[in-house]
């Protein structure tokens, strides 16, 4: 991935707001740098002009290249400073640099910079607290960056598909696809409208999946709230979008928000909006996701991660059908259908007082449970071949199928990551395969670290036995990975517990106090 960032005004404005928010809490000057070493946001001495390139081999550059938190206790004395191109003219006393990640790669840095002895002492006395706080702010930028990249990727894929369709129209054929191939017919559809997910896009041969689709179609035309349950990678958002597009609200907005990807301190303003002056950095009024979705559908993904105080506010929104922005006493009527999704055991969380029972009943009017891929194994090879067709086009390959050995491996694997994991495995195989069919060697190589035959019971959907069990599990993993870099430790623990980075930092704060 090319990590250089196209200067996006929306991202820059959010960066400046976050810089000002951090400065208001820490009383330390802040600089935010992108992957091209350009300063895109700042407070204090670097505020005017904000833009400018930060020197090579600086602490910011080290943090960007290594993906590690960097603490400079004495500028000029640290080995990192020795080769900095700006060392001779440097007026800084101390620094804390925290990387901003996307897809596991650093795409920027947030830095706290001390320019006097007071600021320096404040930083050094509160390093761990400040690092934790800035990492939470970085996670908000990570979420925004991912959102912007998804928009760009959708535009790119849409343009690529349209180019392919135009080519097909001129030549009346597609290499690698049979004349009666159903996938080819989908590509040949002539439409000037943007791509929309429908139930026809949810591909399956399974009777179980067909029953889930049939139920979703029936309830799509209602106004009832729907709770979509299923493991990670089963396609919960795909179902949510198909339900919206089959509903009476299909011409109105569909707004999705991941409740586990945004820090608790900022989630309220994202959901309900804020007025100018509501908090430091709120220079303009901004509507929240509920207002943006007015007349349409809002999709609350990872609803189990919604903090308790916001669960109370969401319950009121559902009951009163109105919202109140932060910093305002004015209520605004809204007309929004709520779809939510989770891979957690909400019933268990209710017992642990982590989720409100009254909110659960409001959201779970119509439950839809998407089965894991291992429970509809007849779809594994069917979907694998569909993915081969897609990646053939993307990588300009001519792979015709899957070898017998590879098929057996695919059918006996547990697929804890479900359809998303299957797609990733096939993309890997198509990218590296040099023959006309996917070999067992490639599949085995891709799965060798997690390969496990289906011999045990199906994987449970995140069922913590108790609050103590959750705490013990989290602290044990912190100890287990204590020798890893911060980035590696967070990635490993999030993967093992199937939680977001934001949830990781919440638990770290909660259980290490």
- Neighbour-count burial of 284, counting CB atoms closer than 10 A to its CB (0-12 exposed, 13-18 middle, 19+ buried): exposed
What CATH number does residue 38 fall under?
3.30.450.40
DSSP string, 47-115: SSS---BPPTTSHHHHHHHH---EEESSTTTSHHHHT-TTGGG----EEEEEEEEETTEEEEEEEEEE-
Task: Please report whether residue 459 resides in a domain.
Answer: no
Residues 352 and 241 placed together within one structural domain of the fold: yes
Closest CA to 439 of 448, 451, 430: 430
Residue 155 banded pLDDT, cuts 50, 70, 90:
low
CA distances from 54 to 33, 36, 48, 61, 168 (A): 8, 9, 14, 8, 48
CA 154 vs. chain centroid, Å, equals 15
Q: For residue 42, give the H/E element and its range.
A: strand 39-42
Range of the domain at 483: 467-511
Residues 295 and 395 placed together within one structural domain of the fold: no
pLDDT at 162: 55
Task: Please report whether residue 176 resides in a domain.
Answer: no
CA 308 vs. chain centroid, Å, equals 21
Per-residue model confidence as pLDDT tens digits over 9-50: 888 888 898 999 999 889 999 999 998 888 889 998 887 654
Residues 491 and 389 placed together within one structural domain of the fold: no
Residue 486 banded pLDDT, cuts 50, 70, 90:
confident
pLDDT at 92: 87
- The more confident residue out of 489 and 458 is 489
Task: Please report whether residue 340 resides in a domain.
Answer: yes
The CA-based diameter of the chain, rounded to the nearest angstrom, is 75
Q: What are residue 256's DSSP bridge partners?
A: 299
Give backbone dihedrals phi and psi of 499, rounded to 5 degrees, phi first: -125, 160
Contact status, residue 226 vs residue 340, Cβ threshold 8 Å: yes
Task: Please report whether residue 2 resides in a domain.
Answer: no
What CATH number does residue 408 fall under?
1.10.8.60
Domain total of the chain: 4
Residue 163 banded pLDDT, cuts 50, 70, 90:
low
| Tokens representing residue 503 in the block | 């949830």
Residues 353 and 400 placed together within one structural domain of the fold: no
Per-residue model confidence as pLDDT tens digits over 250-292: 999 999 999 988 887 789 999 999 998 888 777 888 899 999 9
What span, in angstroms and rounded, lies between the C-alpha atoms of 434 and 447?
Answer: 19
Contact status, residue 344 vs residue 304, Cβ threshold 8 Å: yes
Strands (E), 370-472: 401-402, 437-438
pLDDT at 512: 66
Indicate the DSSP class of residue 371: P
Residues of the chain above pLDDT 70, percent: 85
Question: For the chain, how many residues are written?
Answer: 513
């Amino acid at each position: 991935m090319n990590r250089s960032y196209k200067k996006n005004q929306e991202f820059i404005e959010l960066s400046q707001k976050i810089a000002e928010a951090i400065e208001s809490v820490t009383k330390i000057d802040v600089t935010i740098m992108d992957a091209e070493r350009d300063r895109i946001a700042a407070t204090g001495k670097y505020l005017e002009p904000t833009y400018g390139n930060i020197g090579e081999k600086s602490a910011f550059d080290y943090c960007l290249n290594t993906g590690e938190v960097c603490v400079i206790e004495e500028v000029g004395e640290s080995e990192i400073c020795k080769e900095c191109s700006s060392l001779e003219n440097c007026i800084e006393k101390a620094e804390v640099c925290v990387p901003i990640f996307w897809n596991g790669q650093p795409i920027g840095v947030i830095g706290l910079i001390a320019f006097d002895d007071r600021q320096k002492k404040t930083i050094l006395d509160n390093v761990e607290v400040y690092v934790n706080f800035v990492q939470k702010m970085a996670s908000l930028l990570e979420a925004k960056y991912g959102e912007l990249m998804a928009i760009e990727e959708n535009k790119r894929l849409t343009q690529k598909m349209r180019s392919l369709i135009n080519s097909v129209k001129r030549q009346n054929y597609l290499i690698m696809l049979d004349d009666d191939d159903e996938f080819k017919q989908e590509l040949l559809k002539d439409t000037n409208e943007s791509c929309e997910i429908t139930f026809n896009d949810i591909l399956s041969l399974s009777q179980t999946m067909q029953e889930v689709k049939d139920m979703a179609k029936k309830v799509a035309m209602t106004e009832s709230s729907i709770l979509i349950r299923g493991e990670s990678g089963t396609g919960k958002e795909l179902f949510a979008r198909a339900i919206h597009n089959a509903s009476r609200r299909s011409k109105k907005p569909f707004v999705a928000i991941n409740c586990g990807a945004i820090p608790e301190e900022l989630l309220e303003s994202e959901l309900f909006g804020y007025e100018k002056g509501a908090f430091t950095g709120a220079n303009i009024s901004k509507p929240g996701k509920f207002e943006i979705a007015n007349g349409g559908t809002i999709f609350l993904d990872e609803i189990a991660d919604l903090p308790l105080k916001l669960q109370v506010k969401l319950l009121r929104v559902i009951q009163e059908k109105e919202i109140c922005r932060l910093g305002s006493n004015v209520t605004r009527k809204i007309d929004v259908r709520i779809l939510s999704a989770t891979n957690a055991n909400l019933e268990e969380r209710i017992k642990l007082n982590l989720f409100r029972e009254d909110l659960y009943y409001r959201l779970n009017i119509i439950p839809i449970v998407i089965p894991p891929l291992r429970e509809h194994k007849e779809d594994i090879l069917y979907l694998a071949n569909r993915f081969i067709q897609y990646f053939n086009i993307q990588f300009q390959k001519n792979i015709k199928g899957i070898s017998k050995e590879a098929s057996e491996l695919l059918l006996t694997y547990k697929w804890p990551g479900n359809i998303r994991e299957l797609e990733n495995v096939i993309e890997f195989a198509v990218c590296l395969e040099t023959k006309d069919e996917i070999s067992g060697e490639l599949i085995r190589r891709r799965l060798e670290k997690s390969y496990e035959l289906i011999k045990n019971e199906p994987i449970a959907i995140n069922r913590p036995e108790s609050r103590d069990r959750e705490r013990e599990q989290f602290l044990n993993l912190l100890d287990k990975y204590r020798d890893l870099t911060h980035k590696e430790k967070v990635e490993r623990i999030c993967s093992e517990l199937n939680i977001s980075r934001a949830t990781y930092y919440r638990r770290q704060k909660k259980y290490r106090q």
